[in-house]
């Protein structure tokens, strides 16, 4: 029996720590929080702001096991992470497990290494109640905001919506950027580039120091240049340096992993968590750039041995953020002697952290910058060529140059050939190209993190879940924006001849950037109109500062909640009572056929076009918007085109054919089969010939690839990846199989395994009642419809085995279900009536919404 019980959050961390502690220690995992606010209901006493915490159903067994382990131990060591969330986990454990102060110790560490763990054991402390209160304040305030604002959205916008303090502000940033892009008016000007040749015919690329607003001015300059002798007017060479960036914080790691590795924020944090838990890096939720003396020494040793003493320049960085409180070190390797990690994905992120930390302790790069001025006194403006030479690479040897999204791609400075002042240069080509100003770029995940951090909104631990939440709620997405085309003028001077061309240029297209959805815009506009203070960037940042003050003991958390709620709740009541409904309604114009108004707005099933008014004697007609269209930008002409869908074509193989648009996009319907029209193809352009091509492609894709016991086997790719289909059974194909070249033995093996699994799945099944007793991962359970229910113990407090469950009657099983859900078998008449009503109101567009099998 171990005298000491250590409790950490994750099993991976427990496994690593157990290696470093002797037989007197047992390490167990709490699997994160063991209790939280209830999932149903607010769970907060609004008079006192006291939370009503409960152990979640999936943690009850774990808590029982932890209590049993606590009874056997003399001392319990609470070793959750050293941030507010970790401190709260320790506090909940201490409270729920009834740990007495004399039998518990709180330990913290920034890295999972033997030295760090043993040092933590030697320096225990008690639970920091201020950190716990800061976490409680955030949790309670966010629960109140969500639970009070969301019902207002249900009533005033659309049922099922939700709001959140930080998430709503993040959506606001994305919506405002999109509106800025829409309202942006590009301004054209002519930029001049020249390629000049020196005596030895080496090229020098240069730019004119001033742009021309008008085409005629650019053309006049070229006419003048045609008759001009170009000379080197000045050559300036000056030394410079480049210094390394600080080691990673959570947000800079997320940004750099996005730009260098293409990882999204959630993936970056998942991999960083694994690296931390397996002992490779220090704690990955931090806004500090400091390094310990031990780390600085370790980096120095590695740099000196790998690159040489001249590359070493030990230094420490100061954290700019006044609220940096999560951990006391930047993200860094725990051991600089470990240069790689075996797992490929982990290694890519580890290499980024490793090289960034090394670079931060390396000497500055030394450069020599050269500027050559080229022109003639007769010309109104001169050309300038810039280049640089790296004299000493310094930190660049380890990490290279860090570029941000805002860096101009055209500013690629190159090595320039040697020239002297007064030297005559011949021009090879001078080009005046019409260029247009561009609006601010849409946010990438990295850009959004950077902006939230800049505004002081959220903290390292909140960025990933915030970004995930606003996508899950479908307020924003990363859909592809098709580029537009415009004409640009290009005037070239080559061999004393001026040539003018009008070219086509694509602009405005985007991929993998955040774009607000229609519902996201409507919700944002409603919240900013009615809850201006809650959505205010400054207010959200001040709330974060209040949490910091609570964490440092300078503010009482319940007093903060009282001050906040006294202003917030009356506003909720006022908006609920007096605010108008929000539909994002936009009047597009008049339908020339009926003379009725045409509106774009949010309806019950999402963004739609409506012809007519709800109060008219003749009911309005509706059409769903297509992918890529939105309420704010759709034109009257585009809206009216939607009412041409769905339309019928001639039968194919005796089956009716139609073209429409549904929730999964445009489709061809052949009999009862929905076939997606390829991305980017206009459904209105699909004629009989094209529809038949699409149907034939589907036939080929669905043709049997083999047989199993005389029955055809087909293959496809669905939501969960590649699959084969036998009768009505879908069998997922694991990566170890070559999906494109499945052999008959592969198919037999896959289907045999699936059938065996299905055969062992049911202990008893009542198909008519949709009730079954099934074997599950954790033992037998009852399934009723989509719900799952526990099997109670027998009278002697033992569990039923599979043989006994085969004899249980349907009535007994129904009783077990009713004991857990008294309303399980209650008749549900209202939803049926509601469904009928919905059918009446969706008129012509209802068929488009029915497309369950389009993705198979």
Catalytic residues: 283
Strands, E assignment, 508-643: 515-516, 586-590, 597-603, 606-611, 621-624
Type and span of the H or E element at 371: strand 365-375
**Contact predicate 262/387, CB 8 Å:** no
How far apart are alpha carbons 450 and 444 in whole angstroms?
Answer: 10
| Residues 214-246 as b or e (16 or more Cβ within 10 Å = b) | ebeebbebbeebeeeebbbbebeeeeeebebeb
**DSSP letter at 739?**
G
How far apart are alpha carbons 715 and 704 in whole angstroms?
Answer: 7
Q: What is the CA radius of gyration of the chain?
A: 33
3-state secondary structure of 385: strand
3-state secondary structure of 188: strand
3-state secondary structure of 501: strand
Type and span of the H or E element at 463: helix 463-472
**Contact predicate 327/247, CB 8 Å:** no
How many helices (DSSP H) and strands (DSSP E) are in the chain? 24, 34
How far apart are alpha carbons 30 and 486 in whole angstroms?
Answer: 59
Q: How many residues does the chain have?
A: 856
- Residue 398, token pair as written in the block: 């380890």
- Beta strands across the sheet bearing 606-611: 586-590, 597-603, 606-611, 621-624
Angle (CA) 98 101 107, round 5°: 100
**Contact predicate 84/138, CB 8 Å:** yes
Q: Residue 840 burial by CB count (10 A; 0-12/13-18/19+): exposed, middle or buried?
A: exposed
**Contact predicate 515/478, CB 8 Å:** yes
Residue with tokens 């790069």: 365
- Residue 332, token pair as written in the block: 């860094």
**How is 822-855 classified by DSSP, letter by letter?**
TTTT---HHHHHHHHHHHHHTGGGHHHH--TTTT
How far apart are alpha carbons 166 and 463 in whole angstroms?
Answer: 9
Type and span of the H or E element at 256: helix 250-256
Q: Rounded to whole angstroms, what are the CA distances from 170 to 177, 447, 456?
A: 11, 11, 12
Residue with tokens 């518990």: 104
DSSP lists the bridge partners of residue 436 as 188
- Residue 440, token pair as written in the block: 């601010």
**Contact predicate 244/336, CB 8 Å:** no
Q: By 3-state DSSP, what share of the chain in percent is helix, strand and coil, each rounded to 5?
A: 40, 25, 35
- Give me the sign of the Cα torsion angle 604, 608, 612, 618: negative
Q: Residue 404 burial by CB count (10 A; 0-12/13-18/19+): exposed, middle or buried?
A: exposed
- Residue 434, token pair as written in the block: 């019409």
Residue with tokens 């999109």: 178
Q: Residue 606 burial by CB count (10 A; 0-12/13-18/19+): exposed, middle or buried?
A: middle
**Contact predicate 449/485, CB 8 Å:** no
């Amino acid at each position: 029996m171990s005298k000491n019980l250590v409790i950490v959050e994750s099993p991976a961390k427990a496994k690593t720590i157990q290696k470093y502690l002797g037989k007197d220690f047992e390490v167990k995992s709490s699997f994160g929080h063991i209790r939280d606010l209830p999932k149903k209901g607010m769970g907060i006493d609004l008079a006192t702001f006291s939370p009503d915490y409960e152990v979640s159903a999936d943690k009850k067994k774990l808590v029982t096991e932890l209590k049993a382990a606590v009874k056997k131990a003399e001392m319990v060591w609470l070793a959750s992470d050293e941030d507010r969330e970790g401190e709260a986990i320790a506090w909940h454990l201490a409270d729920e497990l009834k740990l007495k102060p004399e039998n518990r110790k709180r330990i913290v560490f920034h890295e999972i290494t033997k030295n760090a763990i043993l040092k933590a054991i030697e320096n225990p402390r008690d639970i920091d109640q201020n950190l716990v209160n800061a976490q409680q304040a955030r949790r309670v305030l966010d629960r109140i905001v969500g639970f009070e604002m969301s019902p207002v959205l249900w009533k005033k916008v659309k049922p099922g919506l939700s709001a959140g303090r930080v998430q709503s502000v993040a959506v606001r940033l994305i919506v405002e950027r999109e509106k800025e892009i829409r309202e942006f008016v590009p301004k054209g000007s002519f930029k001049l580039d020249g390629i000049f040749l020196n005596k030895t015919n080496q090229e020098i690329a240069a730019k004119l120091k001033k742009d021309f607003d008008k085409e005629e001015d650019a053309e006049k300059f070229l006419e003048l240049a045609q008759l001009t002798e170009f000379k080197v007017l000045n050559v300036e060479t000056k030394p410079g340096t480049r210094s390394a960036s600080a080691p990673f914080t959570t947000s800079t790691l997320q940004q750099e992993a996005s730009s260098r590795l293409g990882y999204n924020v959630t993936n970056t944090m998942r991999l960083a968590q694994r690296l931390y838990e397996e002992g490779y890096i220090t704690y990955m939720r931090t806004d500090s750039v400091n390094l310990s003396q031990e780390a600085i020494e370790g980096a120095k040793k590695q740099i000196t041995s790998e690159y040489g003493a001249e590359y070493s320049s030990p230094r420490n960085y100061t954290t700019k953020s006044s609220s940096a409180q999560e951990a006391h070190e930047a993200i860094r390797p725990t051991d600089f002697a470990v240069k790689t990690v075996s797992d490929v994905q982990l290694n890519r992120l580890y290499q980024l952290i490793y090289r960034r930390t090394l670079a931060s302790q390396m000497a500055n790069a030394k450069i020599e910058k050269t500027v050559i001025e080229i022109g003639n006194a007769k010309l109104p403006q001169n050309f300038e060529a810039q280049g640089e030479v790296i004299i000493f690479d310094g930190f660049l040897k380890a990490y290279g140059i860090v570029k941000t999204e805002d860096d101009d791609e055209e500013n690629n400075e190159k090595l320039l050939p040697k020239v002297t002042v007064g030297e005559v240069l011949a021009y090879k080509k001078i080009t005046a190209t019409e260029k247009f100003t561009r609006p601010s770029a849409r946010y990438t995940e990295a850009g959004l993190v950077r902006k939230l951090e800049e505004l002081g909104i959220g903290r390292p631990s909140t960025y990933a879940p915030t970004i995930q939440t606003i996508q899950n709620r479908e307020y924003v997405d990363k859909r592809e924006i098709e580029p537009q085309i415009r004409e640009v003028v290009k005037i070239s001077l080559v061999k004393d001849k001026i040539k003018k061309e009008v070219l086509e240029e694509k602009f405005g297209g985007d991929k993998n950037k955040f774009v607000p959805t229609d519902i996201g815009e409507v919700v944002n506009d409603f919240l900013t109109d009615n809850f201006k203070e809650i959505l205010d960037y400054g207010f959200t940042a001040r709330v974060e500062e209040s949490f910091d003050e609570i964490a440092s003991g300078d503010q009482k958390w319940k007093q903060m909640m009282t001050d906040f709620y006294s202003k917030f709740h009356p506003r909720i009541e006022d908006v609920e009572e007096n605010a108008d409904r929000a539909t994002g309604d936009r009047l597009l114009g008049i339908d020339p056929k009926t003379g009725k108004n045409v509106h774009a707005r949010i309806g019950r099933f999402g963004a739609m076009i409506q012809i007519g008014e709800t109060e008219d004697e003749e009911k309005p007609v509706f059409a769903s918007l297509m992918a890529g269209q939105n309420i704010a930008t759709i034109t009257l002409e585009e809206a009216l085109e939607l009412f041409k869908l769905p339309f019928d074509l001639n039968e194919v193989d005796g089956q009716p054919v139609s073209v429409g648009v549904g929730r999964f996009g445009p489709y061809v319907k052949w009999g009862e089969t929905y076939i997606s029209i390829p991305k980017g193809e206009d459904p209105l352009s699909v004629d009989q010939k094209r529809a038949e091509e699409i149907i034939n492609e589907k036939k080929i894709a669905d043709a049997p690839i083999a047989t199993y016991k005389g029955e055809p086997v087909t293959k496809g790719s669905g939501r969960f990846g590649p699959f084969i289909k036998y009768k009505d059974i879908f069998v997922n194909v694991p990566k170890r199989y070559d999906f494109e070249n499945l052999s008959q033995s592969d198919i037999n093996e896959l289907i045999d395994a699936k059938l065996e699994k299905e055969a062992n799945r049911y202990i008893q099944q009542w198909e008519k009642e949709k009730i079954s007793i099934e074997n599950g991962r954790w033992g037998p359970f009852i399934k009723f419809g989509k719900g799952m229910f526990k099997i109670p113990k027998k009278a002697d407090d033992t569990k039923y085995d599979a043989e006994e469950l085969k004899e249980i009657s349907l009535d007994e099983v129904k009783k077990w279900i009713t004991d857990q859900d008294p309303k399980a078998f209650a008749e549900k008449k209202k939803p049926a009536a509601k469904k009928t009503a919905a059918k009446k109101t969706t008129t012509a567009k209802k068929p488009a919404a029915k497309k369950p099998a389009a993705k198979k």
